[in-house]
Amino acid sequence: MAIILKSKSEVESIRRTGRIVADILAELRMAVRPGITTADLDSLAVVALKRREARSSTLGYIHEGCSYPASLCTSVNDEVIHSIPGSRVLQEGDILTLDLAAVYRGWHADAAITVPVGAVSAQARRLIAVTQSALDRGIAAALAGNRLQDISRSVQSCVEGAGFSVVRNYGGHGIGRSMHEDPAGILNYVSPGYDNPILRPGMVIAIEPMVSMETFGVGWMRENETRTLDDHWTVVTADGSYTAHFEHTVAITEGDAEILTR
C-alpha cells in the first residue's frame, strides 16, 4: 500500500474540485422529479461540468476492459452503484443515487447522494436517513491516530443497529491526482486481517457507505449479495432490495476530518 499524503496546498486544490462536485450535485438534486430520465440528469451534469471548466472522472474510465460511457452514475432502487444513465424514466416512489466524480486542474473529488423521487415509502426515507447517518459516523471516526477500520466499525454499527445491512462488495478509496488511490478498499464493515493503516494528516479519502434494506442472515456470502448486469457496469442487489449510497471526499487533519465535497 502506497498512501500519498497531500500538502496543505494540494488539499486546497482538491477542495476546489470538491466544491464543484458539491455544487453540481445540489443542482442535480433540484432537477430530480417523476418523469425525468437518467440521461437527462447526465446531460445536466455535462453542461454543469463544462460551465466550471471541469470534466468527469468517470467518462471513459476503464475497468476490466470496459469504458464507462457517461459523466454521472444514476442508480435507481435496487441498483447499488455504477448505473449508466439512459432512457429510464424516474417514477414516483423511486429512490435515486447520484454519484459524481470530477477532475479540475488535475485533482479529483468524489461524492454521492441518494434522493427520493416524489413521495416515497417511510421505509425508503428511513433507509436514506440511516445511510446519511452512517456516512456522518464514518467521517467522525476519521481522526488522525485512529485506524482505517475505525471508520468501518462506525459505519457498520450505525447501519446494523438500524436493522439494515452494508453492501460488502464495494467501499471507499483514496483520492487525489487519480480518482482511485491507496488505501484502495475502505470497507464499510470490520474485517480482521484486512489492511488497517493508521490515519495520518494529509490523507485524503472517499468514504461511501452503501446500504441495503435487506438484513442478511448469519453465513450470508458476499458473492451472493450483488450481481453485475450485462452492461458490465450496473451493480444490483441479488434479492432486489432497495439500496442507498452517500459519499464525501474528506481530508484527515490534526483535528476533525474536513469534508472537501460539502
How confident is the model at residue 218, as a pLDDT? 43
How confident is the model at residue 220, as a pLDDT? 46
8 Å CB contact between 142 and 253: no
The beta-carbon contacts of 84-87 under 8 Å, at least 24 apart in sequence, are 84/231, 84/233, 84/234, 85/37, 85/38, 85/39, 85/41, 85/42, 86/37, 86/38, 86/39, 87/37, 87/38, 87/39
- Place 215 in a pLDDT band, splitting at 50, 70 and 90: low
106, part of any domain? yes
Structure confidence by residue, pLDDT tens digits, 217-258: 444 445 578 999 999 999 999 999 999 999 999 999 999 999
3, part of any domain? no
How confident is the model at residue 222, as a pLDDT? 55
How confident is the model at residue 219, as a pLDDT? 43
252, part of any domain? yes
Average model confidence (pLDDT) across the chain: 95
Helix (H) or strand (E) holding 81: strand 79-81
**Residues 41, 84: Cα–Cα separation, whole Å:** 11
Name the β-bridge partners of 182: none
pLDDT at 151 > cutoff 90? yes
2, part of any domain? no
> How confident is the model over 257-262, as a mean pLDDT?
97
Check whether the bond before 192 is cis (ω within 30° of 0). Answer: no
194, part of any domain? yes
The proportion of the chain whose per-residue pLDDT surpasses 90, expressed as a percent, equals: 92
Three cell numbers, residue 17: 474540485
138, part of any domain? yes
pTM score, whole prediction:
0.95
1, part of any domain? no
237, part of any domain? yes
Give the CATH number of the domain where residue 230 resides: 3.90.230.10
- Place 185 in a pLDDT band, splitting at 50, 70 and 90: confident
Three cell numbers, residue 201: 494528516
How confident is the model at residue 193, as a pLDDT? 85
pLDDT at 216 > cutoff 60? no
* Count of domains forming the chain: 1
Can you give the residue range of the structural domain that contains 184? 8-259
